[in-house]
Structure 1
Amino acid sequence: MLDSEDVRRSAFAHAFSDAVSARGVSLSWLQRRLKDRANPVSVATLSYWRSGERHPEGLRSLTALEDIERLLDLEAGSLVDLVCTRTRLGALAPAQNPFTETEVTAATAETLEILDAPPIDITRPISAHVVYTVDESGAPRQRTSRVLLQAVAPQVLDITFALMSAEHVVRRPECTLRGASLVREHLHESEHVYACVLRLDRPLVQGATTMLEVDMVIPPHDPGAMPVEEEALAFAIRPIRDLVLWTRFHPDAVPDWQYEFERTSSTDDIVARPLQPQSSVHQSRRDFGPGILGIRWGYDR
């Protein structure tokens, strides 16, 4: 009797073969198109996948499958959802909140309970690019995140997305999403944690990836309540392959002083480095986290 993995392998091979035939293309055509998209897969490998002799494994194969679905005019997930994922994840570090301050950790736990949020450890980020736009008042007005996420649970539909700060007030943003929709949100009364539950456009099986864009418009401070110092930050609850934080300042609001900061398990505490004030600051880290990466700035006015 075939086990569930054999059944899924057979289902994938049949679905892939049928899709190639229905599209009326050759494996050589498919191989060339994948190469053009920087997802090279050999004709021999594609042939093995079609016959069922081998099965796609690994993040690179998953990325190629997502392109194959588009090239063969299939619905998203038609092939990816049939792939066995048991060996795909590799080493998986435990998730942890990089904010160790008691007030923040307590506010996070309360917020997740109020939201009845899915566990934060059912996905892991592969890469994240975070862009902050600072307006003429010197305060952040927009935060845009583009994240490549991978599911590490058998089935992922809803995820938790959060903003946190130990030193500054977190204001409830107005969110625009691509790749997901907003289900519910909550700003903790301490104003140190904002979190929301997002529903992905399509469920992910373990090992599958998706791109997510979260654009947040941050409301202005109350008149007369502008803080002396502002910050922009990104954090990772698991090691992330590629993290970029880009902070852009209005020409009329270039800070009088700036410094970057980070905290990981290897630093124990916040490590700060002064910067020459400038209108655009980017920070890039490879294989970073769990940890916090950010920039703070202020004005002598």
Structure 2
Amino acid sequence: MGMPEDNPFAEAFGAALAARGLSLTALRRRLIESGNPVAAATLSYWRSGERVPEGASSHAVVDEIERILGLPDHALIREIPERVRVAPVRPSRSPFSDGEAQSALAETLQLLDAPALDSTRELTSLVVNDVAADGILRRRTAQTMIQSTLTETIDHVTYTLVSEIDVVDRPEITVRGARIVRDHLHASGRVYAYVMKLDQPLAPGASAMLEVTMEEYGEHRSRQPETGVAVFRPIRDLVIWTRFHPDAMPDWLEELESVDETGELFVRPLRPKASVHQARRDFGPGALGIRWGYEGRWERAELP
């Protein structure tokens, strides 16, 4: 059986055994004599790379192995790959009730040959929205910590923009922590999706930070005075901060939230101010955002 990739501990352990000319049976006997009993199968798994030492008791055994094999302190301990245990992952669910939007999303992902949306999950996300002097969203920056949910290493992730009301266009995107390798805008104008290659591959359960900034210009900018975030599975912490240009202070503000399986939209009035932040913990699946208006300058959108 070949040794799994990215397991420097197994390589160092095997090399040290070979250099000392010590078999696993002899090593296990020495460990038992020193008061560190360990199963023969466990030592075999560690040498083959199928498993790695985890927990305080296993690390104590590795300390003793270093002594028996005449290695410097921590020579093997420091080679143990980081392992993050992934909490149970709930199945993802689309927060969109519009069948056309869901169909367009499925077609777009198929055309892109995109990695599954549930190959990662968002642990935390800070989304900052800047509204321009004309009262329309101009810039959006999301700083997100993602975690791999798969049992194998991944190096590509998929992100999407989906709208049930407004037309989606290709924004100008700046990415940190990854780079866009392909994208697609659906003919319906409902979905834009892009696949990113991560700067560093994600091992099972490992996390990474991504920053994605989107800017919109010209006649194709969305004219809908609203912004929000949709999540397909629960996110630990979600913060949305929307900031208004001094010349575009809204006359009214409303918070929009949809979290249950019925897709019912809850609308709550907010006091108009220069900026508004929304914070949720263990939120989703669902959608959260705000919309605003200007009496006498823009017509107020009708409530759903």
Give the equivalent residue in structure 1 for 2:189.
Answer: 191
- Alignment of structure 1 residues 210-229 onto 2, 5 Å: 210-221=208-219, 227=223, 229=224
Check if 1:254 corresponds to 2:249.
yes
Structure 2 CA distance, aligned partners of 1:236 and 1:79?
A: 37
Check if 1:94 corresponds to 2:104.
no
Contact 1:13 1:52 in 2 (8 A): no
Where structure 1 has 5 or more consecutive residues not aligned to the other structure, the ranges are: 16-44, 54-77
Structure 1 CA distance, aligned partners of 2:59 and 2:142?
A: 35
Counterpart among 156, 169, 173 of residue 167 in structure 2: 169
Contact 2:94 2:232 in 1 (8 A): yes
Name the larger-Rg structure. 2
Contact 2:184 2:193 in 1 (8 A): yes
Q: Secondary structure at the residue paired with 1:52? A: helix
Question: How has the CA–CA distance of structure 1 residues 260 and 200 changed in structure 2, closer, same or farther, with 3 Å as cutoff?
Answer: same
Task: Answer with 161-170 or 254-263: which moved more.
Answer: 161-170
**What TM-score, normalized by structure 2, do the two folds share?**
0.71
Where structure 2 has 5 or more consecutive residues not aligned to the other structure, the ranges are: 15-54, 64-77, 298-304
Counterpart among 157, 160, 167 of residue 159 in structure 1: 157
Counterpart among 277, 283, 287 of residue 282 in structure 2: 287
Q: Secondary structure at the residue paired with 2:239? A: strand
Structure 1 residue 270: deviation in Å?
0.7
Give the equivalent residue in structure 2 for 1:57.
Answer: none
Structure 2 CA distance, aligned partners of 1:46 and 1:213?
A: 36
Contact 1:248 1:279 in 2 (8 A): yes
Q: Secondary structure at the residue paired with 1:103? A: helix
Structure 1 CA distance, aligned partners of 2:188 and 2:277?
A: 30
What is the identity, as a one-letter code, of the residue corresponding to 2:91? P
Structure 2 CA distance, aligned partners of 1:213 and 1:139?
A: 22
Give the equivalent residue in structure 2 for 1:209.
Answer: 207
Give the equivalent residue in structure 1 for 2:233.
Answer: 238
Question: How has the CA–CA distance of structure 1 residues 13 and 243 changed in structure 2, closer, same or farther, with 3 Å as cutoff?
Answer: farther
Structure 1 residue 237: deviation in Å?
1.0
Structure 1 residue 246: deviation in Å?
0.7
Counterpart among 109, 113, 118 of residue 115 in structure 2: 118
Give the equivalent residue in structure 1 for 2:52.
Answer: none
Give the superposed CA RMSD.
2.9
Structure 1 CA distance, aligned partners of 2:79 and 2:283?
A: 32
Q: Secondary structure at the residue paired with 1:110? A: helix
Structure 1 residue 3: deviation in Å?
11
Contact 1:262 1:271 in 2 (8 A): yes
What is the identity, as a one-letter code, of the residue corresponding to 2:192? Y
Question: How has the CA–CA distance of structure 1 residues 197 and 252 changed in structure 2, closer, same or farther, with 3 Å as cutoff?
Answer: same
Contact 1:12 1:79 in 2 (8 A): no
- Alignment of structure 1 residues 76-95 onto 2, 5 Å: 82-84=81-83, 88-95=85-92
**What TM-score, normalized by structure 1, do the two folds share?**
0.72
Q: Secondary structure at the residue paired with 2:225? A: strand
What is the identity, as a one-letter code, of the residue corresponding to 2:264? D
Question: How has the CA–CA distance of structure 1 residues 121 and 79 changed in structure 2, closer, same or farther, with 3 Å as cutoff?
Answer: farther
Question: How has the CA–CA distance of structure 1 residues 79 and 120 changed in structure 2, closer, same or farther, with 3 Å as cutoff?
Answer: farther
